[in-house]
Each structure stands twice: as C-alpha cells, then as structure tokens.
C-alpha cells in the first residue's frame, strides 16, 4: 500500500491498529490549526475583507468538501452539454493535475474551451475575452475569489462522512456547515446505495440545509471505444473475461458498472488516483493479460489519456475504453429548473 493510500485509510478510520491510533492523535492536533485557518478564510470572505471578483458572463462552480473522487469531471461534462443545448458558449476552468482532466475534457467536449491553471479569476477573464459567456469551475467550491451564480456540490453517497473529521485527521476539506453556501447538493453514486440509505441521506440534507436543491445521480454506460476511437456496444462484454485497469479516485463505481454489464473479471489492476503509468506497468499488464487469458483490457477515459502516451502496440487490440455519462435519478425537475433559469438569464 502506498503512503498516500495508507494515510487515506487512517483518515477515513479504515485502520485502527496501534500505529494508526498514534497517528490519529497527531493528525487531530494538526487539524486544530487547519480548522483555524479555514475559519479565518471563511470570515475574510463573509466580512468582505477578502475580495470576490466578478467577470462578465455566468459562473457555475462544481466541487465538493471531501478529499478523493466524487465524480466532478463527469458532472462537469453533463453541465457543459446542458449549456450547449441552450446555445451558450461555455469554458471549463480546471486546476490541472498533470492535465489529465484537460485532455479528457477535450476528448469529451472538443468544441468547448478548456483552460487549466490555478488562477481561476485570470482564466475566467481570459475565457470571457475570448467570447465565452459561461464559465464552469471544475473543483471550484473552495475557490471563493471568483463570484459564481450557481454553486453545485457533489457528495459521494457511498461514503458520505456523517461524522468525519477535518483534514488532516479526516477527509473533510471544510466542515459540513460549509454546504450552506451551496445552491445544489448532488448525491453521486446513488445507484450504488441501498434505497433506504439514499432516502435517509436525502432527508437529512433537506432538514440540515433547507431551500437547497437536492439531487441524486448515478452513471450509465454509453459505449466502448478502442484505441482508434471506433465505438462498440457495451453488450459485447457480457460473459467475457476482462482485465479492468484504472487509477481514479473511486474505482468501485467503474468496477460495479462492468459487473452490471455482465463481464467476468479474470484479474484487476487498480492504481492510485492520477497515476502516471510507466513502461514497467505496461509490462506487468501485458503479463497479466497473457497469464489470465483476458479477452479485453477495459479502462476509463481518464486513464486512457495517460496510457495513450506510451507504446501500447503489444496489446492495443485488446484495449477498450468504457464511456459513461451522468444519469439523474432524483431531483431532475428541480435541477433543470435552476439551470434553465440561469441559462436563460432569469436567475438573480
């Protein structure tokens, strides 16, 4: 287990051995300083001491308050597609983690401007000057320097930390009370939750944050593509032995979708989020394909942007990329109403 994964397991209370307990004491102490810093920043914005910049055009922020993947990038694609259907000219502003999301978004939305960089205010002004009339902030909830017209926060329903601690003791980037700033709360991976758990979390959010739009969302499999970009129906995986390969924030959704498609796992290669594949990794994957007799190697669009940088000729005919899309399961009418109001210039 990598150091990063070990720390995450401690922060999420998945480990309770003696070293983990000692580490939690230290992390709890450090969390006091982090909590103080968060409060100072929050007070600065609420008091007006910290400046909030407004740029021409509308701004939608999509973010979360926890470490790890909650499905922000697929939801960003979902919102961008909605904006295009209204005739808007969106730009997506990402922080940029080795430009993985940059390239993935460019593949998914070739007609949309994607601008990576830490300075969202400068990049929003740049996008506006280029004629974009809607700025979408990917992972933007904590980036409060830029004024926004709609704040969407994603909560992973499969591991929402009801009693979690602030970083570094726990996975919370901000206390749960920060959700009061949001306009829309989206329970992601709702399709992996038991109906009673999904209903219970939705009710809790409605009571704790009245007036917010509460949405449940999952993901649907669209198609499979090979290294040349040719598309195939997902039904071709049924009954087939496959080797899943991914390095994403939450691999369980990906694996669950493959299971629902009826394929058979001959083995699995799971790497940390934002993993940079090496020649050695490809040699190991090639060996695994040979040893297990897997018919296909199935990976994610995000992983393919990095795998594609390497020479895949040894097994490229076996590679398939699972393309997915967001599927709203609850609260679609309310979300559409909020987006319609913004996209048609009716929101105040």
Question: In tens digits, what is the pLDDT along the chain, a chain of 348 residues?
Answer: 667 778 878 888 888 899 999 999 999 999 999 999 999 999 999 999 999 999 999 999 999 999 877 788 889 999 999 999 999 999 999 886 556 666 777 778 888 999 988 899 999 999 999 999 999 999 999 999 999 999 999 999 887 756 679 999 998 999 999 999 999 999 999 988 999 999 999 999 999 999 999 999 999 999 999 999 999 999 999 999 999 999 987 888 899 999 999 999 999 999 988 789 999 999 999 999 999 999 999 999 999 989 999 999 999 999 999 999 999 999 999 999 999 999 987 655
Report the pLDDT value the prediction gives residue 107, as an integer from 0 to 100. 77
Q: Both tokens of residue 32?
A: 């006091």
Task: Please give the CATH superfamily to which domain 58-219+327-343 belongs.
Answer: P-loop containing nucleotide triphosphate hydrolases (3.40.50.300)
End-to-end CA distance of the chain: 49
DSSP state of 118: S
DSSP 4-60: HHHHHHHHTT---SHHHHHHHHHHHHHHHHHHHHHHHHHHHHHHT-S--B--SSEEE
**Beta strands 213-225; 319-330: pairing state:** antiparallel
Report the pLDDT value the prediction gives residue 59, as an integer from 0 to 100. 97
- Give 233-258 pLDDT, tens digit per residue: 999 999 999 999 999 878 888 999 99
Alpha-carbon span 329 to 37, nearest angstrom? 37
Alpha-carbon span 273 to 181, nearest angstrom? 28
What are the phi and psi torsion angles at 216 (to 5°)?
Answer: -110, 140
Place of tokens 């902030």: 137
Report the pLDDT value the prediction gives residue 87, as an integer from 0 to 100. 95
Where exactly are the structural domains of the chain? 3-47, 58-219+327-343, 220-325
Shortest CA distance to 170 belongs to which of 7, 6, 346? Answer: 7
Report the pLDDT value the prediction gives residue 275, as an integer from 0 to 100. 87
Handedness of CA 181, 186, 192, 194 (dihedral sign): positive
Q: Both tokens of residue 301?
A: 């669009």
Q: Which pTM was predicted?
A: 0.90
Report the pLDDT value the prediction gives residue 103, as an integer from 0 to 100. 74
Report the pLDDT value the prediction gives residue 161, as an integer from 0 to 100. 58
- The fold of the 220-325 domain, in CATH, is Rossmann fold (3.40.50)
């Amino acid at each position: 287990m990598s150091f990063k994964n070990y720390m995450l397991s401690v922060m999420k209370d998945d480990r309770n051995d003696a070293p983990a307990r000692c580490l939690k004491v230290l992390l709890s102490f450090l969390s006091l300083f982090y909590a103080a810093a968060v409060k100072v920043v929050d007070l600065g914005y609420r008091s007006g001491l910290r400046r909030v910049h407004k740029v021409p055009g509308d701004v939608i922020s999509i973010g979360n308050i926890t470490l790890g993947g909650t499905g922000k990038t697929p939801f960003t694609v979902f919102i961008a597609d909605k904006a295009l259907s209204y005739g808007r000219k969106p730009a997506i502003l990402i922080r940029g983690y080795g430009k993985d999301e940059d390239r993935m978004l460019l593949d998914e939305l070739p007609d949309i401007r994607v601008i990576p960089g830490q300075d969202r205010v400068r990049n929003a002004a740049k996008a506006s000057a280029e004629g974009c009339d809607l700025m979408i902030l990917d992972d933007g909830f904590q980036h409060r320097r830029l004024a926004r017209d709609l704040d969407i926060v994603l909560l992973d329903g499969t591991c929402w930390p009801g009693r979690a601690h602030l970083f570094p003791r726990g996975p919370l980037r901000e206390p749960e009370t920060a959700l009061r700033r949001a306009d829309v709360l989206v329970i992601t991976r709702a399709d992996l939750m038991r109906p009673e758990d999904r209903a219970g979390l939705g009710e809790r959010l409605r009571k704790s944050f009245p007036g917010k739009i509460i949405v449940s969302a999952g993901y649907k499999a669209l198609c499979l593509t090979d290294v040349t970009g040719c598309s195939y129906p997902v039904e071709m995986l049924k009954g087939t032995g496959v080797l899943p390969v991914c390095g994403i924030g939450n691999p369980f959704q990906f694996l669950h979708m493959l299971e629902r498609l009826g394929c058979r796992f001959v083995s699995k290669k799971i790497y940390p989020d934002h993993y940079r594949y090496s020649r050695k990794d490809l040699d190991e994957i090639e060996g695994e394909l040979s040893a297990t007799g897997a018919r296909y190697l199935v990976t994610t669009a995000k992983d393919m942007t990095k795998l594609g940088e390497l020479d895949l000729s040894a097994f490229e005919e076996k590679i398939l990329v699972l393309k997915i899309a967001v599927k709203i399961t609850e609260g679609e009418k309310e979300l559409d109403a909020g987006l319609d109001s913004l996209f048609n210039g009716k929101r105040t």
